[in-house]
């Protein structure tokens, strides 16, 4: 197991070096909770690369009382005994979730990844290393199938991916190892760890899959974890092919602003159902709406005049097409526009130019009025242009904490008309941000700090109004 672990880490390090265009520092930040998986990761790393090549990061979310404190004590003792640098933080997760309208799970995720990203930036760590393994990936696949996430959700977790809520990378070198292999290593080397009592509860969906569904899979196929992970790799490759195919075909059926679909052109494509999903998914339409719409489009029923709703949008079925509008009480309707590639877009009465350009460190960071630039490795296509919504917030460039967009408008002395005309950039690649309230930028005005240009930036997305 250790030999395979070393080979995987070295492979991922090479990918990081290629990405940043230079040799990495070789020091990683290991996310260690005190559970079996993360303690196995810490032990493997120590045996393979030594204490000087890593630091540990432990979050106490204060959700399980003395159990949480016991986890922290174990990680602290292990780090001290092995001479490994340790970063610790304590969060009031329940208060954070309540104040920001988040579930406990999402609040904990946001808190830890913001902290991890800050540590990487402050101390120069190459990546955050997590202990996600093959069983976790299999559980994610089943969860995404149940939720209905299209090809993207079938691709599982990537061995290397951006850190949510900040700059940096997540490295997952244990994705090829099963929980049984991890258990075997921990037993053989007597690695200390603590059990999380909540892992046995089937109240959580992931635990229900682990304890109720996977035992059935195992009876049908004892190697089901490896089989599902092999399929995930196939799905990932297929997803890249499908994504490119959709980008190539969407222009033939959609209007320039992406909010009108020519149904005759759509139905002329044999694979129109998935293309329709690809077009409507950024607007939040669920599988039930898509199923009803598909049935309507192939039936002999009169379709014109019907409407379908998502949380934030209305889809009107017209005589020759589908029109997507934002739910609102004001006069403006075309307030959401997917941006799938560089080009010129006409949105909310403005012309918005989107470019991808090489970044030269000698170029000025301060752009002319009406222009913003963002690291293209952080803001990726497709993203969304939309109107601002009550509750929208961002972390303005150079700041640490969040700020409501309404407060930014106050600072800028915007009147009602200027607020209505404002263009928001929403990142659809990060936790469905097209529908969430954490925005990537106010086009032409401010960018969120995590999208800023840095020493590792090679290309930028430049948005001009």
> Which of these ranges, 48-62, 267-281, 409-423, has the smallest mean pLDDT?
409-423
Q: Please say whether the dihedral angle defined by the alpha carbons of residues 330, 332, 333 and 336, taken in this order, is positive or negative.
A: negative
Instruction: Please report which confidence band the pLDDT of residue 417 belongs to, taking 50, 70 and 90 as the band edges.
Output: low
CATH entry 3.30.465 includes domain 254-326:
yes
Among residues 356, 357, 373, 340, the alpha carbon closest in space to that of 257 is found at: 340
Give dist(CA 331, CA 420) in Å, integer: 10
> Which residue shows structure tokens 């969860």?
143
The mean pLDDT of 24-32, rounded to a whole number, is: 87
Instruction: Please report which confidence band the pLDDT of residue 332 belongs to, taking 50, 70 and 90 as the band edges.
Output: very low
pLDDT digits (tens, 9 = 90+) for 172-219: 999 999 999 999 999 999 999 999 877 776 667 888 899 999 999 999
> What are the E-state strand segments in 202-288?
260-262
Would you state the pLDDT for residue 334?
A: 41
Contact status, residue 386 vs residue 426, Cβ threshold 8 Å? yes
Residue 301, pLDDT > 70, answer no
- Tally of residues, the chain: 465
Angle formed by the axes of helices 36-49 and 179-188, nearest 10°: 60
The mean pLDDT of 383-393, rounded to a whole number, is: 88
Q: Give the start-to-end residue ranges of the domains of the chain.
A: 2-228, 254-326, 336-464
The β-bridge relationship of strands 128-129 and 160-162 is unpaired
Residue 433, pLDDT > 80, answer no
The mean pLDDT of 130-139, rounded to a whole number, is: 96
The mean pLDDT of 49-57, rounded to a whole number, is: 96
What number of other Cβ atoms are within 10 A of residue 186's Cβ? 17
Give dist(CA 129, CA 318) in Å, integer: 50
The mean pLDDT of 380-399, rounded to a whole number, is: 88
The whole-chain average pLDDT of the chain stands at 87
Instruction: Please report which confidence band the pLDDT of residue 365 belongs to, taking 50, 70 and 90 as the band edges.
Output: confident
Would you state the pLDDT for residue 432?
A: 45
pTM of the model: 0.69
Would you state the pLDDT for residue 259?
A: 80
Whether residue 382 has a cis bond before it, omega within 30° of 0: yes
Give dist(CA 55, CA 116) in Å, integer: 11
Give dist(CA 112, CA 52) in Å, integer: 23
Give dist(CA 158, CA 235) in Å, integer: 12
Residue 219, C-beta contacts closer than 8 angstroms, at least 6 positions apart: none
More confidently predicted of 200 and 56? 56
Looking at the chain, the whole-number percentage of residues with pLDDT higher than 70 is 92
Quick one: tokens of 406? 């309404």
Give dist(CA 33, CA 39) in Å, integer: 8
Instruction: Please report which confidence band the pLDDT of residue 330 belongs to, taking 50, 70 and 90 as the band edges.
Output: very low
> Which of these ranges, 57-66, 129-138, 359-368, has the smallest mean pLDDT?
359-368
Instruction: Please report which confidence band the pLDDT of residue 252 belongs to, taking 50, 70 and 90 as the band edges.
Output: very high
Q: Which backbone phi and psi does 161 adopt, to 5 degrees?
A: -155, 165
Instruction: Please report which confidence band the pLDDT of residue 430 belongs to, taking 50, 70 and 90 as the band edges.
Output: low
What number of other Cβ atoms are within 10 A of residue 123's Cβ? 13
The mean pLDDT of 287-314, rounded to a whole number, is: 81
| CATH superfamily entry for domain 2-228 | HUPs (3.40.50.620)
Would you state the pLDDT for residue 400?
A: 79
Would you state the pLDDT for residue 452?
A: 92
């Amino acid at each position: 197991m250790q030999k395979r672990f070393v080979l995987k880490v070295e492979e991922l390090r090479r990918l990081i070096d290629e990405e940043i265009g230079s040799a990495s520092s070789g020091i990683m930040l290991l996310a260690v909770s005190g559970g079996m998986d993360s303690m196995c990761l810490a032990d493997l790393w120590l045996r393979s690369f030594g204490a000087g090549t890593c630091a540990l990061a432990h979050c106490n979310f204060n959700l399980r009382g003395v159990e949480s404190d016991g986890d922290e004590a174990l990680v602290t003792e292990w780090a001290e005994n092995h001479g490994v640098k340790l970063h610790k933080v304590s969060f009031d997760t329940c208060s954070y979730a309540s104040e920001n309208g988040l579930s406990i799970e999402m609040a904990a995720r946001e808190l830890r990844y913001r902290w991890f990203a800050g540590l990487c930036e402050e101390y120069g760590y190459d990546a955050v290393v997590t202990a996600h393994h093959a069983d976790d990936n299999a559980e994610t696949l089943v969860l995404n199938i149940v939720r209905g996430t299209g090809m993207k959700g079938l691709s599982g977790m990537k061995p290397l991916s951006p850190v949510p809520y900040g700059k940096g990378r997540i490295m997952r070198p244990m994705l090829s190892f099963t929980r049984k292999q991890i258990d075997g290593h921990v037993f053989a080397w007597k690695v200390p760890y603590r059990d999380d009592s909540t892992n046995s509860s089937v109240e959580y969906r992931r635990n229900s899959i682990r304890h109720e569904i996977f035992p059935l899979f195992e009876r049908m196929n004892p190697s089901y974890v490896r089989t599902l992970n092999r399929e995930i790799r196939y799905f990932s490759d297929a997803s890249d092919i499908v994504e490119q195919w959709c980008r190539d075909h969407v222009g033939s059926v959609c209007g320039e602003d992406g909010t009108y679909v020519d149904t005759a052109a759509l139905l002329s494509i044999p694979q129109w159902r998935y293309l329709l999903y690809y077009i409507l998914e950024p607007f939040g339409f669920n599988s039930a709406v898509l199923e009803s719409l598909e049935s309507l489009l192939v039936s002999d029923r009169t379709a014109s005049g019907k409407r379908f709703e998502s949380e934030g949008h209305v889809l009107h079925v017209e005589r020759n097409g589908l029109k997507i509008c934002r739910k609102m009480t004001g006069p403006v309707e075309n307030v959401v526009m997917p941006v799938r590639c560089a080009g010129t877009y006409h949105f909310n009465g403005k012309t918005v130019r989107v470019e991808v350009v090489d970044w030269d460190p000698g170029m000025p960071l301060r752009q002319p009025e009406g222009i913003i630039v963002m690291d293209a490795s952080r803001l990726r296509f497709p993203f969304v242009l939309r109107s601002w919504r009550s509750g929208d917030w961002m972390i303005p460039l150079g700041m640490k904490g969040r700020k409501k967009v309404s407060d930014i408008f106050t600072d800028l002395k915007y009147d009602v008309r200027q607020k209505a005309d404002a263009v928001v950039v929403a990142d659809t690649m990060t936790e469905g941000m097209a529908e969430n309230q954490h925005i990537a930028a106010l086009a032409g005005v401010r960018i969120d700090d995590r999208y800023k240009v840095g020493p590792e930036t090679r290309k930028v997305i430049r948005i001009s109004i």
